Structure 1
Amino acid sequence: MRKMTLMLLGVLILMFSCKSPEARRPVTQKSGSYINEAIERNKKIVAAEEEQIQAIIEEDSTNEYISSPNGFWYYYNEKDSTTTTTPDFGDVVEFDYDLKTLDGQTIYSSEELPTRTYVMDKEKLFSGMREGLKLMKEGETVTFLFPSHKAYGYYGDKKKIGRDVPVISTVTLHKITEENKTQNQ
């Protein structure tokens, strides 16, 4: 009888000591206010940068600026009207470029940056440059004005370019090698 009572007592203890787990509630709850604040801050940054770029364009009467649908501005230093070939996905391009601040201070000169060989859309390159190269033909030199979100953005390049720095870049496209030609070699 004693064994039976102990077993019954043990079963009862096990039954009543186990209960379903309860969800833990967070100590603090955050709303989407941080995201909304970040969106507003970024809109202000973009507007201020575009204002600066528009002021540069208005002051410069010697060049004809073109507004890209991709969110940057450019003008041709040297334009080639005889060829029609622009780089496509997978094509290999060779180009030189420099980077300056909007007030003209050199960040990286073309001598500091070696001639770059880039496979279109298959390698890392900041979005403005990637989109700008697609507008160019072999032998052309173009000056681009990139707002920071089209250049190095919030993080910069972790060397000479800080966060949210719009840049001016003069790019010379030396050579375009089409993808099917590089595969056949």
Structure 2
Amino acid sequence: MKMKLIMLLSGLLLFSCKSPEARRPVTQKSGSYINQSVERNKKIVAEEEAQIQKIIENDSANDYISSPNGFWYYYNKKDTTTTKTPEFGDIVKFDYSLQTLDGKNIYTDEEIAPRTYTMDQEQLFSGLREGLKLMREGETVTFLFPSHKAFGYYGDKKRIGSDVPVISKVTLMEITEDNEDNNNPNN
């Protein structure tokens, strides 16, 4: 009887020392959904950029500049006397409007009251955030944003739908430099 008990315990020890094996997923994804999504997005970007290029070609009155950030713009009013552009933490006061590429108003500047924004510390769609960094106080610039630089796939859940490229006319009224001394309560 002791022998059987010793053999039983030895067997249990032998099998209990086996390292655990990883469980395999019941279903495996092939990645085809991601590949389809990438192809769909590439097609959308190409179509939007073609629309924007057509607008640029048909507009001989303005000199468009291609931003390395993936949008195009031209100056309605340019200031050549100052070099100060907004930097991280600066507070800017600006006004803007949004239109579709065919010129239909989405939001007028009257609907969007002049807005203040702390650079790179608040929510703002990426194209406008990057566009403001190119501007000087007193300038007015018209930006052409593909949808991925505007409101993207989700839109704004109000008037801007999915994958809508926009034209935005922006006036930068004021830049207030971030002064850390003003934030210090000991001063």
Q: TM-score range by the shorter chain?
A: 0.7 to 0.9
1:184 corresponds to: 182
* 1:136-172 C-alpha deviation (Å, 9 max, x unpaired): 0111000000000100111111111111110000000
Q: How does 1:133-172 map to 2 (within 5 A)?
A: 133-172=132-171
Counterparts of 1:38 and 1:65, CA distance in 2 = 31
Aligned residue type for 1:142:
V
* Sequence identity (%): 74
1:120 corresponds to: 119
Q: How does 1:63-78 map to 2 (within 5 A)?
A: 63-78=62-77
Q: Give 3-state SS (helix, strand or coil) of 1:129's partner.
A: helix
CA shift for structure 1 position 27: 3.2
2:58 corresponds to: 59
* 1:39-62 C-alpha deviation (Å, 9 max, x unpaired): 111111100000000000000010
Report the CA distance shift for 1:137/1:34 in structure 2 as closer, same or farther (over 3 A). same
Q: Give 3-state SS (helix, strand or coil) of 2:134's partner.
A: coil
Aligned residue type for 1:68:
S
Counterparts of 2:62 and 2:35, CA distance in 1 = 39
Counterparts of 1:135 and 1:23, CA distance in 2 = 53
* 1:20-74 C-alpha deviation (Å, 9 max, x unpaired): 8775543321112111111111111100000000000000010110000110000
Report the CA distance shift for 1:183/1:104 in structure 2 as closer, same or farther (over 3 A). farther
**Normalised by the size of structure 1, how large is the TM-score?**
0.86
Q: How does 1:12-31 map to 2 (within 5 A)?
A: 24-31=23-30
Counterparts of 1:40 and 1:131, CA distance in 2 = 26
Q: Give 3-state SS (helix, strand or coil) of 1:81's partner.
A: coil
2:128 corresponds to: 129
Counterparts of 1:162 and 1:116, CA distance in 2 = 23
1:46 corresponds to: 45
**Normalised by the size of structure 2, how large is the TM-score?**
0.86
2:31 corresponds to: 32
CA shift for structure 1 position 183: 4.4
Q: Give 3-state SS (helix, strand or coil) of 2:168's partner.
A: strand
CA shift for structure 1 position 184: 2.1
Aligned residue type for 1:116:
R
Which ranges of structure 1 fall in alignment gaps of 5 or more residues?
A: none
Q: How many aligned residue pairs are there?
A: 182
Q: Tell me whether 20-29 or 138-147 shows the greater mean CA deviation.
A: 20-29
* 1:64-123 C-alpha deviation (Å, 9 max, x unpaired): 100001100000000111111111111000000000000001011111111110000011
Counterparts of 2:50 and 2:170, CA distance in 1 = 23
